[in-house]
Structure 1
Amino acid sequence: MARVPLLVALCLVCFASGASAAGRKMVGVYELRKGDFSVKVTNWGATVTSVVFPDSKGNLGDVVLGYDTIAEYVNGSSYFGALVGRVANRVAKARFVLDGKVYNLYANDGKNALHGGHRGFSKVIWTVKEYVAGGDSPHITLYYHSFDGEQGFPGDLDVYVTYELSSPYVLRVRMNATALDKATPVNLAQHTYWNLGGQGSGRDVLGHTVQLFAAHYTPVDGTLIPTGQLAPVAGTPYDLRTPTAVGARVRQVSGGSSNGSAVYGFDINYAVDGEDARALRKVAVVRDGASGRAMELWADQPGVQFYTGNFLKDVKGKGGAVYGQYGALCLETQGFPDAVNQPGFPSQIVRPGQAAYKHDMVFKFSF
């Protein structure tokens, strides 16, 4: 199988002012293609920038929100398509205690840490380890070394992610991380914003139906920090065990606040059904009746954060598109939020010499 050149150059980014050529890394966009199914990834934040496949009439469309330029990803605050970590979601009061030692993190969400801090894995340049653009299994593998003390987290950590197109219209994502010298929490999440009608369609996702294979969720306080409880969804607006239009429930649930005003929409972690919380199993099915597109998600994590783009407002996106509230939805498979401070939640601690962190996702698209 022929291997294409590793870089499609867009820009050079220096880690520090005045850095030598050895201190620079090239940021590029890499396309994976299998017939009329294509995915683009950049090594800035290990970010998915587009996913293109047909609708029911055979028209190709990009179903991922994003930007036209790398500079916009660098400056953006919505985590479009990024791989977030070292610890995705929120850590209460930006602190935790591990093996008797207190660690203080970078607080970037009020008093809490969100998605790894101010400069988490979504805001760094990853190294391209392998890139195969076409053939039977187009794929790209990216690597990042997170240093001891980065954003307050302990220990050196080697992190890899592979994006691969396998069978027709299937995108596989494989993440793993190895602690080199200290125990550390690790919880990676893939933060793509999906709109199956097309990112430039001008339509929101309120007409999409969502089915989540989860009978329980983790309730949160007013700052979206879990209370530590595991509550049944039965009898609540969070019950999405049967296909439900997003718009039928989105204004029945609280999605936090903005400038002192309540924001409505889903932004909550669900406990995925299944006795083995680390086995690959079906997480969600999303359908858009207007386009005929559907997406089925499988993963091997205990939780999934369902978010309905509550805080999107007049965001300038690709091709002149403008993204508004509920313009997309996210399904971020993950360990439970704030697990490092919640002894009743599944542990996300990775230790040197023991099993590495592993996180697999499978997206199956149809039309």
Structure 2
Amino acid sequence: MKINTKDIQHNWKHYTLVNDNGMEVSFLNYGGIITSIVVPDKNGNLENVVLGYKNYDDYLTNSTYFGALIGRIAGRIQDSNFELNGKTYSLTPNEGKNHLHGGSSGFHQVLWNSTDFQTESTVGVKLTHTSPDGEGGYPGKLDAAVTYELNNDNQFTISYEGTTTKTTVLTMTNHSYFNLSGDLKNTIQHHHITMDSTHFVELDNALIPTGRLLDATGTSFDFSNGREIMDGIESSFGQNIIAGNGYDHYFIFDHQKKESVVVNESKSGRILTIETDQPGMVMYTSNGLGNDLELAEGQSKNYLGVCFETQSSPASLHHEGFPSVVLTPDEKYESRTVFSFGVVKGDR
């Protein structure tokens, strides 16, 4: 196992974690942006399974949040404000009147401090950043740390930590777009997904949670026994249509199974298994990606990747009954998500 490091433009560092199976995870210390994940298919062919820009400079804006660390709050905050302990905090709107993915001073555009390390069984990099009190409108000086770690079982682990000087709000995630076909050979319509979830959050026309938790049973949002993403893209169900014909919704995990999500792509034989201690995740099927972005393997298009944004719910800032994002000075924010890559055994 090894860690390759190179200095690139803008004084960024580009890291590549490599295990003994040839799996590679490459990322920048700018935004913690994952630029590629190379894993074998059922025939042993090593290919990239995430979306990334052809040119590093495009990550300076990165309006799609390709591969980036998201914080302080992942997701949308209604009307760009929230109340804590009787005080209202106003954030910078960056999607209409709403606040998305930490706003203009979000973690996706931060140059993180980085330290690489190697243990007996892993290679990794720890990223750290201090967000000052009041940055972007958020209360409290926040010390954040994110660790990327790879082992020889083809498991890539992201661990998140945070402490604050004042009661604040925090839920971080990673915004990688996965495509298990390899090198973007196909779109993700036929990715088969099984999810340990029976409920999801209803959205309004601006993709803001309404406060209602809906039962997925019998709908295109029921992944408990597995279904293809295509089911939601072609669905006439109002929630799929609101999202731009697909999914951009928060799913609550039942945590009845070890694996929260299992993704299977039959042509390549690749399987992605996601384990997390987070209460839920946003699944976004790149319904609005468009075709004007130059990616490492070609032009972008809708449904070219699927995001699995494990996190708590910013809906909890305006509605009861959702996983909290509040962090107090006497607490430590800790979260962990493991992405395991494998292949189907035998013919399918």
Residues 1:358 and 2:339 aligned together: no
Quote how far apart the aligned CAs of 1:256 are.
6.9
Distance in 1 between residues matched to 2:323 and 2:244, nearest whole Å: 29
- Look up the equivalent residue of 1:347 and give its one-letter code: S
- Look up the equivalent residue of 2:80 and give its one-letter code: A
Cα shift readout 1:153-200 (whole Å, capped 9, x = no counterpart): 111000000010124211011001111x21100010111000000233
Instruction: Tell me if structure 2 keeps the 8 A contact 1:33–1:133.
Output: no
Quote how far apart the aligned CAs of 1:303 are.
1.1
Instruction: Tell me if structure 2 keeps the 8 A contact 1:209–1:246.
Output: yes
Residues 1:165 and 2:144 aligned together: no
Quote how far apart the aligned CAs of 1:75 are.
2.0
Corresponding residue for 2:346? none
TM (normalized to structure 2)?
Answer: 0.93
The 5-angstrom pairing of residues 37-52 of structure 1 reads: 37-52=23-38
- Alignment match of 2:247 (pick from 254, 266, 285): 266
**Gaps spanning 5+ residues in structure 1: where?**
13-25
Instruction: Tell me if structure 1 keeps the 8 A contact 2:51–2:178.
Output: yes
Q: 1:174 to 1:189 in 2, by over 3 A?
A: same
- Look up the equivalent residue of 1:126 and give its one-letter code: W
The 5-angstrom pairing of residues 175-214 of structure 1 reads: 175-179=160-164, 181-201=165-185, 203-214=186-197
- Alignment match of 2:198 (pick from 211, 215, 222): 215
Corresponding residue for 1:228? 211
Quote how far apart the aligned CAs of 1:133 are.
6.8
Matched residue count: 340
Quote how far apart the aligned CAs of 1:281 are.
4.0
Q: 1:325 to 1:182 in 2, by over 3 A?
A: same
Distance in 2 between residues matched to 1:4 and 1:309, nearest whole Å: 31
Instruction: Tell me if structure 1 keeps the 8 A contact 2:274–2:340.
Output: yes
Distance in 1 between residues matched to 2:172 and 2:258, nearest whole Å: 18
SS at match of 2:254: coil
The 5-angstrom pairing of residues 1-367 of structure 1 reads: 8-12=6-10, 26-35=11-20, 36-128=22-114, 130-132=115-117, 136-179=121-164, 181-201=165-185, 203-252=186-235, 253=237, 254=239, 263-274=244-255, 281-352=258-329, 354-367=330-343
Distance in 1 between residues matched to 2:214 and 2:197, nearest whole Å: 11
Quote how far apart the aligned CAs of 1:95 are.
0.3
Instruction: Tell me if structure 2 keeps the 8 A contact 1:31–1:133.
Output: no
**Gaps spanning 5+ residues in structure 2: where?**
344-348
Q: 1:356 to 1:56 in 2, by over 3 A?
A: same
Instruction: Tell me if structure 2 keeps the 8 A contact 1:210–1:240.
Output: yes
SS at match of 1:93: helix
Instruction: Tell me if structure 1 keeps the 8 A contact 2:67–2:175.
Output: yes
Runs of 4+ in 1 over 6 A off after TM superposition: none
Cα shift readout 1:24-77 (whole Å, capped 9, x = no counterpart): xx3111010002111011111111111101111111100010113331111221
Quote how far apart the aligned CAs of 1:224 are.
1.3
Corresponding residue for 1:18? none
TM (normalized to structure 1)?
Answer: 0.88
Distance in 1 between residues matched to 2:118 and 2:41, nearest whole Å: 23
RMSD between aligned alpha carbons? Answer: 2.0
- Look up the equivalent residue of 1:90 and give its one-letter code: R
Distance in 2 between residues matched to 1:347 and 1:139, nearest whole Å: 29
Instruction: Tell me if structure 2 keeps the 8 A contact 1:161–1:175.
Output: yes
Instruction: Tell me if structure 1 keeps the 8 A contact 2:6–2:13.
Output: yes
Quote how far apart the aligned CAs of 1:105 are.
0.5
